[in-house]
Structure 1
Amino acid sequence: MIHEARNNAVQRMFETSCDAILFIDSDQTFPHTALDLLIEKHKDIIGYPIVRKKPPYYPNISRWYSDEGVYKVYENYPQNHIFQVDTIGMGFTYIRREVFEKIEKPYFDFGWVEKDGKRTDQMIGEDVYFCKKVKEAGFKIWANPEIEIGHLGMFEYLPRIYFNYAKMREEGRDVKG
């Protein structure tokens, strides 16, 4: 399972003198400068928005709406500078060692969104579980849209596909997946 693989990778990091870990999913495409662009931002947790492989191609970033008790996709995010998010997928994400030193195991797991102390029907994956823990520990999570990370499937899905698809929907054009 993906959460076990991520937890094992963190454990391996602790067996070294590494000061950070970089998660890259096997179906991501990226330019050779992608890691450098994250490191130079000097953030504890930073990754790239990566879109899903099916319509409406939502990005893997979200915000928490406490009044509703739900995470919602961060749809109209800035495209030319880094910005804070409440969750980011781990498809291409850089995390400093100290983040893991300040939260308890398991770092990654599955769970449920809670509202008013009660479990809702919204399940959260290992990436949202991690993001929730680090936010509770006081860390900020950043997204960097300055370059496009591709998501391989039938073809290479890029963030511009999401924005083009959203624009066509706003214009009332008939769009199908």
Structure 2
Amino acid sequence: MKKVLIAVPNEGHIDTQVVKALLDIRWGKEYQKSIILPMMDMPIENSRAHTINYFLKGDWDYLFSMDADNPPLSDPLELIELDLDLVGYPTPIWCWNREKNKGPYPIEWNVYDYNFEEGPNRHKQHEPREGLQEVDAIGSGAFLVARRVLEHPTVRYQPFQRRWNDDGTVLLGSDLAFCQKVKKAGFKIHAHFGHICLHYKQVELTAVIDGWNSFYQRKKNKWEKELAEKSHNKFLVESQV
């Protein structure tokens, strides 16, 4: 029987829906399960490192990690049967920045492909968003990773470590940097859109209004531009007849 360590890295608070998810998982699929709640090992990268150290000292086959605000909507351990290297459970991310008027969509999914057109460390949203997909990177809100991945020397060395620009700003978040290590070691990364997570965040409501208004305005401008181009092309065709 497969053994799985279930971890909820946190900073002293776990959402009640995550607690409920833990209870559901505890009574779900018949695997040998252990649950740990690594607390106050801040920052979060430190907590993840302590979790991996603890995992590797034991004899578990898989590590399932979910953040304290990231409960899955279905039994995440169902994916153990697929024996994947690393699989993420897609999570919605609030990404609107009102001050910078930035973000193509107010909400995105934390599932990514490389965007080499913009640079070697740039990512874009993965599509399509259905079923099991092989991807280049996932967020670390909820993921399942096989022991063979965490034991690999390339992955084992500082697994969740941010990468920095020379001026001290962040080049890559710890989750995307982790995924780069996983792929460099020769493993595959997947995401399963049939196993998504909820995401509990505090968001100021007028920012939500601004974000969606901006999104719909950009859509409206795009539709009007496309309609104008179609009308112009139709006029050119008719004028040539």
Percent identity, aligned pairs only?
Answer: 25
Q: Which protein is bigger by CA-based radius of gyration? A: 2
Given candidates 192, 196, 209, the residue that maps to 1:144 is 192
Residues 1:11 and 2:53 are matched in the alignment:
yes
Partner of residue 25, structure 1:
67
Compared CA separation, residues 169 and 80, structure 1 to 2 (3 A): farther
- CA shift, 1:35, in A, is 2.4
Cα offset for 1:72?
A: 2.0
**Alpha-carbon separation, structure 1, partners of 2:150 and 2:195:** 27
Partner Cα separation in structure 1 for residue 146 and residue 138 of structure 2: 15
More strand by share: 1
Q: Does 1:52 align with 2:93?
A: yes
Cα distance, 1:96–1:54 mapped onto 2, change above 3 Å = same
CA 4–122 in structure 1, closer or farther in 2 if over 3 Å, else same: closer
Distance, in Å, in 2 between the alignment partners of 1:171 and 1:66 is 25
Higher relative helix content? 2
- Which amino acid letter does the alignment assign opposite residue 44 of structure 1? D
Is the 1:18–1:97 Cα contact (8 Å) retained in structure 2? yes
* Alpha-carbon distance in 2 for matches of 1:52, 1:138: 28
Per the TM alignment, residue 149 of structure 1 is displaced from its structure 2 partner at its CA by 0.9
Q: How many residues align?
A: 159
- Please state whether the residue corresponding to 1:62 is helix, strand or coil: strand
For residues 217 and 140 of structure 2, the distance between their equivalents in structure 1, rounded to whole angstroms, comes to 28
Provide the rounded CA distance (Å) in 1 between the counterparts of 2:217 and 2:178: 32
- Give 1:100-139 correspondences, 5 Å limit: 100-102=150-152, 103=154, 104-112=156-164, 123-139=171-187
- For structure 1, the residue ranges without an aligned partner over 5 or more in a row are 156-163
What are the residue-to-residue correspondences of 1:30-49 with 2, within 5 Å? 30-36=72-78, 38-49=79-90
For the aligned residue pairs, the C-alpha RMSD in angstroms reads 2.9
In the alignment, residue 98 of structure 1 is paired with which amino acid? R
Higher relative contact order (CA 8 A, sep 6+): 1
2:124 alignment counterpart: 73
Distance 1:42 1:61, change over 3 A: same
Query: Which residues of structure 2 form unaligned runs of 5+?
Result: 1-42, 97-105, 204-211, 222-241
Query: Offset of 1:86 from its aligned partner?
Result: 1.2
